[in-house]
Amino acid sequence: MTMNATIEAVPDEGAVSRRLTFLLAAACGMVAANIYYAQPLIGPISTALGLSHDAAGLIVTMTQIGYGLGLLLIVPLGDLVENRTLICSVIGLGAAALLAAACATQALPFLLAALFIGLGSVAVQVIIPYAAHLAPAATRGRVVGNVSTGLMLGIMLARPVSSFVTSIASWHAIFFGSTVLMIALAGVLWRTLPTRMPVVRLHYLELLRSMPHLARTTPVLRRRALYQAFLFAAFSLFWTVTPLLLASPAFGLSQRGIALFALAGVAGAVAAPIAGRIADRGYSRGATLAAMLLVAAAFLITHLGAAGSTLNLACLVIAAIAIDFGVQGNLVLGFRAIFALGPEHRSRLNGLYMAAFFTAGAAGSALGGFAFAHGGWMLASWIGLALPAAALVYAAFE
């Protein structure tokens, strides 16, 4: 494999202003939200498009498939293509897909649009290593943590926002609104972001062929990906099962009440900048163990109080915040570790990192739904507890 390196300017201490950091964080949140808008709307969308109950899950699955493909096929281009152009182009792809979804009146066009919404949403995973490139080494964790806060806010706010918009308009409105937002965002980013050329030159197929080699020869990547895979699987299990639990006769919450519960998790987004600062000071290992313990403890406290009681609901809210705090904190610690390995393959490392735990998250969702159907919250929560416990065991051998 041949590669011709070019010289990349080292950013100075003022390279990432607060304004630029805020813009990148906001962009991450707005783009990431596109993946999750449809999750609480499966019912009305499937009814409108004539999808059966068995096929309704494809509304979310197609977006997840698109996102997974994008992580492996588009995100690595950050090591090959000028980054501002790549970011704006991928957001443009997402805007076109959102418009197609908004206009869809039949199932097949909507599902194809959902696939491309997922592909367009991987712009987030180009933005985060781009921010790491711009940041000086001494503050890279803080910058990545601040930008990642936007990612978490987008994930957590998307579901309640789409539920509220649909309750006062229709499900089409959220996709139309996000289309306009993506077009405006691409324009702002194109005018604002500094250009950044990758440090190496590879053919696209060479780029893709290099990824298995990177996975085999980068132990830090494998370890951080596995840590986050365990925690993100627990996160996905929790957020898949708790809406079912809260809608059950024990709690009897409405869709709007469940949306308000989801807002509680947004508080966990404050973990990102905290974790970034801790990583910059060299305390990543202790912070990683603390994140795992926090997620494990969160599942334990959900058993306090009788099911459906005010105490039990309060404990679920606290658990939601704790799980989001631990998972988001560990995510940023992982970013900081893999981005320190060198600029020439950051995007590929990020694609591999994200693909690994995104797959685990999908498995956690499926496992959570199955466990709740067969053993209720008791079984689901014990599986949720086992996941961070397994991460702790693995971390003990670092």
Instruction: Work out the pLDDT band at 365, boundaries 50, 70, 90.
Output: confident
Quote the pLDDT of residue 322. 92
Whether the per-residue pLDDT at 4 is higher than 50: the answer is no
- Say yes or no to pLDDT of 342 above 50: yes
Distance CA 350, CA 76 (A): 8
Higher-pLDDT residue of 135, 391: 391
Whether the CB-CB separation of 1 and 206 falls below 8 Å is answered with yes
Give per-residue pLDDT as tens, 91-133: 999 999 999 999 999 999 999 999 999 999 999 999 999 998 8
Is residue 13 in a domain?
no
Query: What is the per-residue pLDDT for 379?
Result: 95
- Residue 343 DSSP label: G
Rounded CA separation 294/321 (Å) = 10
The CATH number covering residue 62 comes to: 1.20.1250.20
Q: Locate 79 and state its tokens.
A: 């090591």
For residue 34, is it within any domain? yes
Closest CA to 111 of 124, 100, 96: 100
Domain range enclosing 218: 18-395
35 belongs to a structural domain: yes
CA dist., res. 207 & res. 21, Å (int): 29
Is 9 domain-assigned? no
Mean pLDDT value across residues 155-170: 85
Q: What is the mean pLDDT of the chain?
A: 87
Determine the pLDDT at residue 14.
Answer: 47
- DSSP helix/strand/coil, 81: coil
Q: Which of 7-21, 45-59, 148-162 has the highest mean pLDDT?
A: 148-162
Distance CA 168, CA 263 (A): 18
For the chain, the domain total comes to: 1
Residue 5 pLDDT exceeds 60: no
Rounded mean pLDDT, 141-166: 85
Closest among 78, 182, 212 to 132, alpha carbons compared: 78
Q: Is 303 domain-assigned? A: yes
- Using pLDDT thresholds of 50, 70 and 90, give the confidence band for residue 42: confident
Q: Is the pLDDT of residue 10 over 70?
A: no
In a domain? residue 4: no
Whether 10 is in a domain gets the answer: no
**Could you report the per-residue pLDDT of 179-222, keeping only the tens digit for each?**
999 999 999 999 999 998 887 677 888 888 888 999 899 999 99
Among 5-19, 57-71, 158-172, whose mean pLDDT is lowest? 5-19
* pTM of the complete model: 0.80
The single-letter code of the amino acid at 158 is A
The verdict on residue 5 lying in a domain is no
